[in-house]
Amino acid sequence: MPFERRLTLDASAAEYVIDVANVVREPALGGERAADLARLSGLLDALAEFTRDPAVQVYAITDRSLLTDGRLTPEERQSLDRWYLEGLLEVLPRADDRILELADALELRVVSADNFLDFHRAYPWIPGNRDRFLRPFLQPDGVIGVRPRIMPVPPEWQVSRKEEEGLLLEAGVYRRWDRSAHRAVLGRDWRCPEADCPLFGAADRPRSTALPRRRKSQVLCPTHGLPLADAGPRPSRAQVKVVMDGTVRGRFMVTAGEPLAVGRAPADGGVVLGAWIDDTEVESVSRTHVMVSYDGTGLSVVDERSANGTWVRRRRPTGDELVPLPHGALWHLRQGDSVVLHERLELLPSGRQFVFEEDPADGTVGPRVSADAAGPTMMAVPWPPGQEPG
């Protein structure tokens, strides 16, 4: 697929954050040129393989200098300009602090070879971290890959020196994102005074769910640094992935208050699974198999009298449990649940924390299911006797 389809500034859909300039200008990732946009394409392919998700969504950020880098071809610079204007690429004077702001607020995983030493005090979860960072590397066959990395725990003098360098590069630093407030900010529609702003432009432009910046009590445009105007509430959304044989085949969004039909060929604008799954499995899925809804805090599912039944997979410390979903019954999905339409086909809600919260009913929370893992793990669980899908 064209790799630019994996770029998004939608804060509710992105799963990784990437410093584009860092990747494009890294000779160790192959190629003979000092700057090569093909390295970004190779990295996105590597992420797709790592996550087993061909359409993995990445929040792409770059330093402004990349757009005028003479080491890129004119066609490559035109592509960067177009992505910026279309709201697929965020462009800033310096990208590092914004990358960590997004990672901290939205719990995105960071793909970078940078150690971010000048931000270790602002983000104390960085030193020694083992699960929030990936490093791109060149494999022996010349193809780019990614692998988890352990962040270093540097001596104090190194941290201080990097902080001084950062202050010289940028006169002052933005305050850390207030994590207690990011839900409220993402629930509003924001407008930038600059009408041509690719993130928060005029009302006739497509609405963005990019993450604004905060500085004390102000909400700012990350591109122009100007205060954003609050244009009213925005319906919250949740992401659901279509997983077949352990591989993500597609994804769709569910808007709060707008139930969505999912099945082989649902009417009235529902999600047509036949676009993503094999023909043999399509016949095991009903025309309208389930209705999925979102109330702003969690997802629910109702079996719409499917022919072959629906199950909910509950992930427990002792092993997975399959629970049959009676026709017409409403099931409120908890963290870690997935909806099983066929033994090879599941609907996997995103593990993003601003979609799910811990369930207060019994205090139990299953293992986190998220793109933060190396792809969705599908455990083999026996079907209950007499309930095998037909």
What does the block give as tokens for 65?
A: 């200098």
Whole-angstrom Cα distance, residue 348 to residue 376?
8
Q: Which of 252-256, 289-293, 368-372 is predicted least confidently?
A: 368-372
Whole-angstrom Cα distance, residue 388 to residue 390?
6
- Residues 272-299: pLDDT tens digits? 887 777 666 667 888 889 999 998 888 9
The CATH number of the structural domain formed by 237-349 is 2.60.200.20
What does the block give as tokens for 255?
A: 């808007």
- Residues 130-144: pLDDT tens digits? 889 999 999 999 999
Contact 115, 149 (CB under 8 A): no
Residue 96: closest CA among 82, 115, 80, 109 = 115
The confidence score (pLDDT) of residue 202 equals 64
| pLDDT value at 205 more than 90 | no
CA 92 to each of CA 21, 47, 63, 162, 183: distance values in angstroms, whole numbers, following the listed order: 11, 24, 5, 20, 23
Q: What is the DSSP string of 326-379?
A: -BT-EEEPPTT-EEEEETTEEEEE---TTT----TTT---PPP-STTSSS----
CA 322 to each of CA 35, 164, 313, 338: distance values in angstroms, whole numbers, following the listed order: 50, 55, 5, 10
Domain ranges of the chain: 3-177, 184-234, 237-349
- Residues 332-341: pLDDT tens digits? 998 778 899 9
Residue 104 has phi, psi (to 5 degrees) of -75, -45
Whole-angstrom Cα distance, residue 309 to residue 241?
19
Average pLDDT over residues 222-236: 85
Whole-angstrom Cα distance, residue 161 to residue 197?
35
Whole-angstrom Cα distance, residue 1 to residue 75?
19
| pLDDT value at 383 more than 90 | no
Residue 97: closest CA among 81, 85, 110 = 110
Residue 97 has phi, psi (to 5 degrees) of -65, -35
CATH topology of domain 3-177: Rossmann fold (3.40.50)
pTM to 2 decimal places: 0.60
Q: Do domains 3-177 and 237-349 have the same CATH topology?
A: no
Give the rounded percent of residues in the chain with a pLDDT score beyond 70. Answer: 78
Average pLDDT over residues 147-157: 77
Contact 252, 348 (CB under 8 A): no
∠ CA 289-291-294, rounded to 5°: 150
Helices (H), the chain: 20-24, 38-51, 74-85, 96-106, 156-169, 182-186, 279-282
| pLDDT value at 362 more than 50 | no
